Chain A
Amino acid sequence: MAAVHDHDIAHAHDHHPTGLMRWLTSTNHKDIGTMYLWFSFIMFLTGGVMALTIRAELFQPGIQIVNPEFFNQLTTLHGLVMIFGAIMPAFVGFANWQVPMMIGAPDMAFARMNNWSFWLLPPAALLLLGSFFAPGGAPAGGWTIYPPLSVQMGMGMDMTIFAIHIMGASSIMGSINIITTILNMRAPGMTLMKMPLFVWTWLITAYLLVLVMPVLAGAVTMLLTDRNFGTNFFNAAGGGDPVMFQHIFWFFGHPEVYIMILPAFGIVSEIIPTFARKPLFGYSSMVYATASIAILSCIVWAHHMFTAGMPVTGQLFFMYATMLIAVPTGVKVFNWTATMWRGSMTFETPMLFAIGFIFLFTLGGFSGVVCAIVPIDIQVQDTYYVIAHFHYVLVSGALFAIFGGAYYWLPKWTGHMYDETLGKWHFWLSMFFFNLTFFVQHFLGLAGMPRRIPDYALQFADFNMISSIGAFGFGLSQLLFLYVVLKCIRGGAKASAEVWEGGKTLEWTLPSPAPYHSFETPPVIR
């Protein structure tokens, strides 16, 4: 393998820009990773404020705080901001920090493009959030932007479409970068089947992203031309079909949910072996399970549309295909559990979040299997049961893994140990309030409470009040995380290079904090 030496970076050594210009012009994977993570945290708080406004309105029956139009804008933007602004960029941030360090590469393959993929995000976020101030307000037809509503709305919808275009371009560029880095820049001796699982899950996720993000771009482009240029892709009056949008959207949308969970699987697969002090059980089956999940995720999209009108044969196909995904997912849960079996476990904060992830994600997976059953899905479609299901897989799934990963690698990034006591408080508060918020929503959904409605029947009052109390508790607990992170950046016990006793991947061979330029000479892999 040729010498891995990037001349741009060697050059940047000499005059290192400081202040704002350092961040604006940075091509360093660690700087860019940091920016991704802060951006996603800011978006997480923004989307969180929207969620809390929604929960405040739902605290009691009746309309108290926001009017229904604004409520609809909040539910729509909460979804878009959390998915495209918080969860996805957070994982890209992890990839930027960790992938080069874990495969022994000096930086990402295309450092300049890496800078671009990050700096596209803030303008996109401004467009998205700016739609609140457009005439007619932000889009209010749900994050899935189904026509006919999305064809009829004001210019806030056009802003959202452009924001999705830009974020999509950013994701695609990021993915191309990650794929190229993983395929071409591994240290000599690091074969594909020796890669840490986090790298594997990101490789597969990045392929999924380049597969489906362009399809979403196509779908929103069709919306845009339907709205402004007189085409009739989805306009029934002109011979188009609104249901077709749902098919194209979910062809993107279902792989998208795996895009948000596969890197989480990767993070958990790094944390569990470290704190169980055992190698990951069934490494190769983990890789194959991840790949099967990714492939299956492309043929199950219509399970989001069982009530949109579909022949029974279609419903049966999508039902069985969906249930099939439970098999590779079950393999993963089994492997994590088997890794912990008879391990010398300790329960530091990352491990707590990882175990919380396994427990609650599996619960969300089970309610997913319930939703996959056609007759039940027809009953629970668009109810709070579905809300509960996907918050179990996205909050206690993706988000808990992000928190776990952040605690796991913070000492490596900052050079300081975080405050373990406060970290544990953060976990237990999140765990308690998360379940308080979302567990009761299963009951609400089974009893028939529809989603995206600002008011509800009196019979739902008690559970909604409990859920709102939980939501505020959960939201406030996240400020504790901010405090722990800031405290860790400012100081704390000096972290060793190894940090955790059981960490076996390459980043633990670097000193803490990881030097600005690492692995300029590739490490030797035994």
Chain B
Amino acid sequence: MNVTEANSVVLRKLLIFTVIMFGFGFALVPFYEKICEVTGLNNLLQADTLAENTQVDTARWVTVELDANTRGLPWQFKPLQSSVRVHPGELTQVVYEVRNNSDREINGQAIPSYSPQLLGKHLKKLECFCFSKQVLKPREVRQMPVQFLIEPGLPTDINTVTISYTFFELGNDNTASLDINADQI
């Protein structure tokens, strides 16, 4: 085999390797989602299951502040109560209200955010409007519950926490991919 042929062989191998690595970059996406699912790192869109008998710690009060935002869509979004006081371990329900101020049907998806970050570990949500996309007809008003409890394991120096939701608009293109991703997350 002369040098030119030998070179072409190496070239071909390296090009194939490059293409594989390009694919590997994309393969990292399902891989990452799987890891998050297995380790439970990123289950924002899934309901938690409740342990059989949760102790209610009646000696402690935690103030839960509720926050609501919209981003780039003509909706009015607010909690019906700005904060609630709960005992750790106590199942609580709060209600958010959302109103479509426009004359078109809009798909929205709410993404939660917690403060302090640590709350994410100790907050169990049994029901939430953020688990699925919300479709609001023109001028529709909807009241949506969130059912949650804060585990007694929340460090005792934390007395006030914030649960915040932000609604993003989903275009029609995005809807399909949301469903796929929501299943995987």
Contacts and interface: CB of A to CB of B under 8 A. Distances in A.
Interface of A: 1-2, 4, 109-110, 172, 175-176, 179-180, 183-185, 210-219, 221-222, 229-233, 235-241, 244, 247-248, 251, 309, 311
A2 B1 CA distance: 8
Nearest to B110: A237
B181 A232 contact: yes
Interface stretch (B26-34, B82-90, B96-104, B142-150): B26-34
A218, A233, A247 — most chain B CB neighbours (10 Å): A218
B21 A215 contact: yes
A214 B21 contact: yes
A110 B109 contact: no
Given A184-B6, A237-B109, A212 B29 contact: no
Contacts of B169: 237
Contacts of B178: 232, 238-239
Interface-central residue, A4, A180, A247, A251, by most chain B CB under 10 Å? A180
A121 to B, nearest CB: 18
Interface in B50-75: 71
Contact of A212 (B21, B39, B45): B21
A297 to B, nearest CB: 15
Contacts of B173: 229-230
Contacts of B32: 241, 244, 247-248
A416 to B, nearest CB: 34
Contacts of A176: 10-11, 14-15, 18
Contacts of B123: none
Contacts of B6: 184
Interface string B165-185: 000111101100110111001
15 contacts: A4-B3, A176-B15, A210-B14, A210-B18, A214-B24, A215-B22, A218-B25, A232-B181, A237-B109, A237-B168, A237-B170, A238-B174, A244-B28, A248-B28, A311-B41
Nearest to B15: A176
A215 B18 contact: no
A309 B170 CA distance: 26
A110 B3 contact: no
A238 B171 CA distance: 9
Given A238-B109, A239-B181, A219 B25 contact: yes
A175 B17 CA distance: 12
Contacts of A2: 2-3
Contacts of B42: 241
Contact of B185 (A4, A215, A229, A239): A239
A237 B178 CA distance: 8
B25 A311 contact: no
B141 interface: no
Given A237-B109, A237-B111, A238-B177, A311 B39 contact: yes
A239 B32 CA distance: 13
A235 B170 CA distance: 11
B7 interface: yes
Given A230-B177, A239-B178, A180 B29 contact: no
Given A213-B21, A241-B42, 15 more contacts: A110-B7, A185-B3, A210-B14, A210-B17, A213-B18, A214-B18, A215-B24, A218-B23, A221-B25, A222-B29, A230-B173, A232-B178, A239-B180, A248-B25, A248-B32
B117 interface: yes
A213 B18 CA distance: 8
A172 B25 CA distance: 15
A236 B111 contact: yes
Contact of B174 (A211, A230, A244): A230
Contacts of A219: 25
A430 B92 CA distance: 65
A238 B170 contact: yes
A214 B185 contact: no
B28 A247 contact: yes
A218 B26 CA distance: 6
B172 to A, nearest CB: 9
A162 to B, nearest CB: 16
Contact of A232 (B23, B117, B174): B174
Contact of A240 (B17, B41, B117, B181): B181
A117 to B, nearest CB: 13
Nearest to A239: B181
Contact of A239 (B22, B23, B177): B177
B177 A237 contact: no
Given A237-B169, A244-B32, A183 B111 contact: no
A237 B32 CA distance: 18
B3 A214 contact: no
Nearest to B39: A311
A210 B181 contact: no
B175 to A, nearest CB: 9
Contacts of A235: 174
Nearest to B35: A247
B21 A233 contact: no
A445 B111 CA distance: 34
B121 to A, nearest CB: 10
A311 B35 CA distance: 12
Point out which of B18, B22, B45, B174 has the most chain A C-beta atoms below 10 A from its C-beta.
B18
A188 to B, nearest CB: 12
A242 to B, nearest CB: 11
Nearest to B40: A311
A210 B3 contact: no
Ranked 4 nearest A-B pairs via Cβ: A218-B25, A237-B168, A239-B181, A230-B173
A251 B26 CA distance: 12
A214 B11 contact: no
Nearest to A217: B22
A248 B24 CA distance: 10
Contacts of A110: 7, 11
Nearest to A237: B168
A238 B181 contact: yes
A176 B180 CA distance: 37
A219 B22 CA distance: 9
Given A214-B19, A215-B21, A218-B25, A236 B10 contact: no
Contacts of B11: 109-110, 176, 180
